[in-house]
Amino acid sequence: MNNLDKLNHIIKYIENNLTNSIDGKKICQILCVNEYTAYRIFNFITGISLTEYIRNRRLSMAGLELINSDVKIIDLALKYGYDSPISFSRAFKKFHGINPSTVKQDSKYLKNFPPLTFTTDISSNMELDFRIQKENELNFYSISKKYDLPNIKVMAPIFWKKTELDNKYKEIFNDITFGIIEYDKLFPNPKTATYHIASKKKFDGSSKFMIPASTWAIFNVKNISGEAMSDLSFYVYKNWIPYSGYNIRNIPELEVYYKNHTEWWLPIE
């Protein structure tokens, strides 16, 4: 089973169990990784967390049932895994913009959230240059900004460019510099990530930042650009991790910018 099949298998499993308990261990078995890694893969590839995807699918189906039947709200709440009609109604209104009790009397639109389908395999034979390396605790000095998770791919390069053009940070770009991606701790549904621009040397406005000792999968980024980094990381999450036998550690990722090339360091175990 290739990775495209695995992802479609997960979607099918979720669809078959929208009114039942969805077992995270089953999803891990399909992807052949641990729970943290499975959630990270799904979020990275789809742009939505697995928890949010399941919730949206359930609320989408609940809206259809409410329109097309005389089902009671309490029964619908229990069917889709909510503890009470109140918690269901709150989630329903947040998703659809309307209370479930007024759906049939109100002319407002309901939201449809269809199941994902993975129809195009973008994995076509990208060559990877990588090595596995153990490192002791890594210590840096950094400045940082926190972003909503979906925006970090766009905002981090802007932050980097502004810093690079600022004369007071000029000294750090004469040496090896580092980009550090620190995800928040709200597993399995992270909302934000902090991006650090870092150096081994103390610089103006910087604070100490430490990454614990780890084993790293280190990938050579052949084309130094934000797009190249994004393409590489997407490919690794989708095609390298599920077959590598490794899981991702819940510690920051690291970008290393040398004078002549760039590396992406992914913490593994």
Q: What is the pLDDT of residues 97-131, one digit of tens each?
A: 999 998 878 767 788 898 988 876 544 556 678 88
Long-range contacts of 185-188 (CB under 8 A, 24+ apart): 187/36, 187/39, 187/250, 188/24, 188/35, 188/36, 188/39, 188/49, 188/50, 188/51
Please state, in angstroms and rounded to a whole number, the distance separating the CA atoms of residues 152 and 163: 16
Out of 44-53, 74-83, 86-95, least confident range: 44-53
Q: At what angle do helices 24-31 and 3-16 cross, to 10 degrees?
A: 160
Please state, in angstroms and rounded to a whole number, the distance separating the CA atoms of residues 196 and 145: 7
Whether residue 79 sits in one domain with residue 16: yes
**SS3 call for 132:** strand
Nearest to 71 by CA among 97, 103, 48: 103
Q: Do the domain assignments include residue 146?
A: yes
Q: Do the domain assignments include residue 110?
A: no
Q: Do the domain assignments include residue 121?
A: no
Whether residue 134 sits in one domain with residue 35: no
Q: Do the domain assignments include residue 124?
A: no
Indicate the helix (H) or strand (E) that contains 150: none
Counting residues of the chain whose pLDDT is more than 90, the rounded percentage is: 57
Domains in the chain, number: 2
Q: Do the domain assignments include residue 250?
A: yes
What pLDDT is stored for residue 125 in this prediction?
A: 53
**The domain that contains 45 carries what CATH number?**
1.10.10.60
What pLDDT is stored for residue 250 in this prediction?
A: 92
Q: Do the domain assignments include residue 108?
A: no
Whether residue 157 sits in one domain with residue 52: no
Whether residue 141 sits in one domain with residue 245: yes
Q: Do the domain assignments include residue 80?
A: yes
**SS3 call for 230:** helix
Question: What average pLDDT does range 242-247 have in this prediction?
Answer: 87
176-227 pLDDT, tens digit per residue, is 999 999 998 877 777 899 999 999 999 999 999 999 999 999 998 876 655 6
**The domain that contains 162 carries what CATH number?**
3.20.80.10
Whether residue 91 sits in one domain with residue 188: no
Question: What average pLDDT does range 77-84 have in this prediction?
Answer: 94
The residue segments making up the domain with residue 34 are 3-102
68 pLDDT band (50/70/90 cuts)?
Answer: confident
- Residue 240 pLDDT more than 60? yes
Q: Do the domain assignments include residue 112?
A: no
Domain limit, last residue, from 56, 86, 102: 102
Q: At what angle do helices 50-68 and 3-16 cross, to 10 degrees?
A: 40
What pLDDT is stored for residue 78 in this prediction?
A: 95
Please state, in angstroms and rounded to a whole number, the distance separating the CA atoms of residues 114 and 101: 23
Q: What pTM was computed for the model? A: 0.81
Whether residue 137 sits in one domain with residue 77: no
Whether residue 179 sits in one domain with residue 135: yes
CB-count exposure of residue 117 (10 Å: 0-12, 13-18, 19+): exposed
Whether residue 172 sits in one domain with residue 258: yes
Question: What average pLDDT does range 238-262 have in this prediction?
Answer: 89
What pLDDT is stored for residue 4 in this prediction?
A: 79
Please state, in angstroms and rounded to a whole number, the distance separating the CA atoms of residues 202 and 200: 7
